[in-house]
Structure 1
């Protein structure tokens, strides 16, 4: 009789332990990396051990997930070695924020690995670039050695327009020279304010 009670007690203990273990997976559903359960001591267990995150290690809500790097293939424009025509090429850009996308697109105009595609913006320094409400404002500095003549200047303006207007959200471009609206980029072709599609 004593053996029977021990068997029932042991069976009941095993059932309780199994039932308790069976409840754990349902407590935290899979595929929810956003939910972070604090561990003892205020740590989240997710590697967020930033001592500046708030008093006592508590989250301040500033721990927004960092944007992933995006890669995109875009069209970029150059000229031929004789500066006789505008040549379309492709370039891969990587960026995290939209602002970075436009800066990366500008940088494609400054370099080329193909000897038959000469960059028209190679020597033109971008001082700043801002995108706001459909308008890209680019402030550049044009040194004397960047002067391409009338034909090259016209191609350079066409290249920047075609490169940026491939993005649907870009409606206009304001091209400034040393922070000012200049009559022309290199002294040959009149600039429009703003340049539109």
Structure 2
């Protein structure tokens, strides 16, 4: 409620300043500090001072819209015998957040038959640039899954991230460095490709 009152008050102030300044020929130049002037094609007189007027479905914030997407995420069975495909709903605002959300989906499962392989592997950072996704992780000793589990974990992360068409390569870093293996059992490609 307070946010709406402040938004209405701020909008009214901007309108008054914009209307007062916009009608005086020969007024102060555009670079005067604190002055809000309307854009030449602005019919509302509100100017373009960076204040959202709330039009557009009642959305009064200037933050990007939250996107929700259902993705495939990969786990293992309770006996660690096979890779199991599941689905997860992720939410994000920016593109980089999509990959963080997908990674977090690999770390948890609500289904007792789908055991997360990445649950104890900490995410340090995610970077996506020109089709190349780089994921930096820390692998604590308690995350070691043995040879079979490590193989499933590598396949799980590849299948999860290569479902996104824009991801052409995946580079896994361990504590900021390229590693020959995630847990010491399975060789890693540097980078992994489709």
TM-score normalised over the length of structure 1: 0.72
2: distance between equivalents of 1:185 and 1:103?
19
- Measured against aligned partners, the alpha-carbon deviations of 1:130-187 in whole angstroms (never above 9, x if no partner) come to 0010011011000000000000000000000000000000000000001111110000
Q: How does 1:15-34 map to 2 (within 5 A)?
A: none
2:33 maps to 55
2:90 maps to 93
1: distance between equivalents of 2:189 and 2:49?
47
- Measured against aligned partners, the alpha-carbon deviations of 1:117-139 in whole angstroms (never above 9, x if no partner) come to 00000000010110010011011
What is the aligned counterpart of 1:67 among 64, 70, 76?
64
- Measured against aligned partners, the alpha-carbon deviations of 1:89-139 in whole angstroms (never above 9, x if no partner) come to 000001111111110000000000000000000000010110010011011
Q: For structure 1, which runs of at least 5 residues remain unmatched after alignment? A: 1-35, 44-53
By how many angstroms is 1:55 displaced? 3.4
Paired residue total: 152
What is the aligned counterpart of 2:17 among 33, 41, 55?
41
Which has the greater radius of gyration? Answer: 1
Runs of 4+ in 1 over 3 A off after TM superposition: 59-65
1: distance between equivalents of 2:35 and 2:149?
58
By how many angstroms is 1:66 displaced? 2.6
By how many angstroms is 1:39 displaced? 1.3
1:78 correspondence with 2:54:
no
2:42 maps to none
- Measured against aligned partners, the alpha-carbon deviations of 1:13-43 in whole angstroms (never above 9, x if no partner) come to xxxxxxxxxxxxxxxxxxxxxxx99511349
Matched position secondary structure for 2:16 = coil
8 Å CA contact 1:42–1:56 kept in 2: the answer is no
Supply the RMSD in Å over aligned alpha carbons. 2.3
